[in-house]
Amino acid sequence: MPRRFALVTGGAGLIGSHLVDLLVAEGWKVRVLDNLEPQTHSRGEPGWLNPGAEFVLGDVRDPAALGPALDTVDTVFHLAAYGGYMPEIGKFIDVNSLGTARLLEVIRDRALPVRKLIVASSQAVYIEGSVSCPVHGTSNPPPRAETALAAGRFAVPCPVCGRAAESVPTPESAPIGGETVYALTKLDQERLTLNWSRQVGIPAVALRFACTYGPRQSLFNPYTGVIAVFCSRLVNGLPPILYEDGEQTRDLCYVGDVARACLLAAESHRLDGLAVNIGTGYPTSVRRLAEVLLDLLDSRTGMEIPGAYRPGEMRALTPDIAVAVAAGYEPTVTLEEGLVRYVAWLSEQGPIEERFGESLERLRRLRLVHSVAS
Ligand SMILES: NC(=O)c1ccc[n+]([C@@H]2O[C@H](COP(=O)([O-])OP(=O)(O)OC[C@H]3O[C@@H](n4cnc5c(N)ncnc54)[C@H](O)[C@@H]3O)[C@@H](O)[C@H]2O)c1
Ligand SMILES: [Zn+2]
């Protein structure tokens, strides 16, 4: 088979850089397009850019940069995005929605020989994780009511009877919503790409990543990456601050497994045309995560639970990964092992500034974070 040639947009970031390493190791020719977004790369060009890949400094919103970046590539991994709980609205739409639109237009309008496109979507596209009630079975609840959150009632009730319900894995067929600006733009990216794929006949896959972590996750961005944020506080002797009551759950997936899922989506035809969950399939509560990190970093700070919450956030989301598994995907790194690797990397990063406290105040001021009524 001829050597494959990939463009990885956002290839300097967490998932992109691990994917680049994997592709280079697998013998692919690789080009990166990344604008080194200052929020993520405060110290400029990171030291992990793979010398076996071509690096192009440029913006996915810029057709003049996209044309040369796409030249002769056969596979596009579109990972560049503005991500997290940042307060901007316009920038999310601009980078994520418009950036994707531009990329798709350039490939179509110039009839470029791209044969496959993989776009990074997110678990954030769901409305709330699926739940099961002993009486009414499995259902997909609406967003939690602001009045309930303000009263400190965080659990998701059965939407039929209102009694306590148990979180169960969420399949791709669950309703999608977009309850935050970020989520809306991930939905845009997913739908724009899959619609375009059907029109132009170029196979595409949208991968709905779980919370991804690992070495190289930005230590500068206080708005995203719960593990990096907790660690940046712990190494400064400060307690991690937990939203809600800390019992909300997430699927935390090691970046190496996510990178392998991207490669699988490129090499297999089995996921073509689909939006597919990628994660470990196991939930971890935020409180449990904080406990493991306190232990790993040998910290005595404890944790802080100030009664803050973020409207639009899901309570409990564990993706059902059966579709990806049937296509050959297999998560291999346990949370404990992944966190050990992350903490080892962290210890080599020199002094880390704590920025979360300040960002939390900003988010409160801008009403992205609310407080439980006292
Ligand atoms: N990390 C997660 O938990 C997670 C979860 C779900 C989905 N995702 C998605 O996966 C993708 C990669 O995420 P990540 O965690 O590696 O993020 P990251 O911030 O580490 O990497 C994103 C990269 O994109 C680059 N970038 C940003 N704006 C750009 C622009 N306008 N032009 C060119 N490059 C630009 C940044 O400089 C950065 O290197 C994103 O699309 C993100 O939304 C991530
Ligand atoms: Zn019920």
65: amino acid identity, one letter: A
Task: Using the structure block, give the residue that is written with the tokens 């979180």.
Answer: 167
Is pLDDT above 90 for 50? yes
**Nearest ligand, CA 166:** 2
Query: Between 14-25 and 255-267, two packed helices, what is the crossing angle to 10 degrees?
Result: 60
Ligand 1 contact, 188 CB (< 6 A) = no
Give the dihedral sign, CA 131/285/183/97: negative
What digits encode the pLDDT tens for the residues 87-108?
899 999 999 999 999 999 999 9
User: How far, in Å, from the CA of 333 to the mean position of ligand 1?
Assistant: 21
In the predicted model, is pLDDT for residue 3 greater than 90? no
Residue nearest to atom 38 of ligand 1 (CA): 13
Cα Dmax for the chain: 65
Q: Compute, in angstroms, the gap from residue 36 CA to the centroid of ligand 1.
A: 10
**DSSP of 203-231, one letter per residue?**
-EEEEEE-EEE-TT--SS-TTS-HHHHHH
Residues in the chain: 374
Ligand 1 atom nearest to CA at 40: 19
**pLDDT at 322 exceeding the cut of 80:** yes
130 lines ligand 1 (CB under 6 A): no
Q: Give 43 or 296, the one with higher predicted confidence.
A: 296
- 353-363: per-residue pLDDT in tens? 888 888 899 99
pLDDT at position 241 is 96
**Residue 109 has which token pair?**
């309008």
pLDDT for 1? 65
Q: How many domains does the chain have?
A: 1
Geometric angle at alpha carbon 85, from 209 and 260, rounded to 5°: 20
Nearest CA to 240 out of 296, 289, 309, 313 is that of 289
Rounded CA-CA distance 210/274 in Å is 16
Q: Could you say which DSSP state residue 371 is in?
A: E
Look-up of token digits 């850019």: 49
CB under 8 A, 24+ apart: contacts of 104-109:
104/192, 104/193, 104/196, 105/63, 106/63, 106/66, 106/67, 106/70, 107/70, 107/76, 107/200, 107/202, 108/196, 108/200
Query: Residue 83 sits in which domain range?
Result: 5-371
Q: Of 118-122, 264-268, 363-367, where does mean pLDDT reach its minimum?
A: 363-367
Q: How far is CA 20 from the centre of its chain?
A: 17
CA–CA distance, 194 with 205 (Å, rounded to integer): 7
Give the residue from 26, 91, 17, 29 showing the smallest Cα distance to 60.
Answer: 91
Dist. CA 274 → ligand 1 center (Å)? 21
Q: What is the pLDDT of residues 216-254, one digit of tens each?
A: 998 878 777 899 999 999 999 999 999 999 999 999 999
Q: For 109-135, write each residue's pLDDT tens digit.
A: 999 999 999 999 999 999 999 999 999
> Rounded distance, CA 339 to CA 254, Å?
9
Share of the chain above pLDDT 90, in %: 90
**Residue 169's CATH number:** 3.40.50.720
pLDDT of residue 218: 87
Is the CB of residue 117 below 6 angstroms from any atom belonging to ligand 1?
Answer: no
Residue with tokens 């601050």: 241
**69 in contact with ligand 1, CB cutoff 6 A:** no
Helices (H), the chain: 14-25, 63-70, 90-92, 99-109, 146-150, 181-200, 226-234, 255-267, 286-296, 322-326, 335-346, 356-365
Q: How confident is the model at residue 333 (pLDDT cuts 50, 70, 90)?
A: very high
**Distance from the CA of 173 to the center of ligand 1, in angstroms?**
25
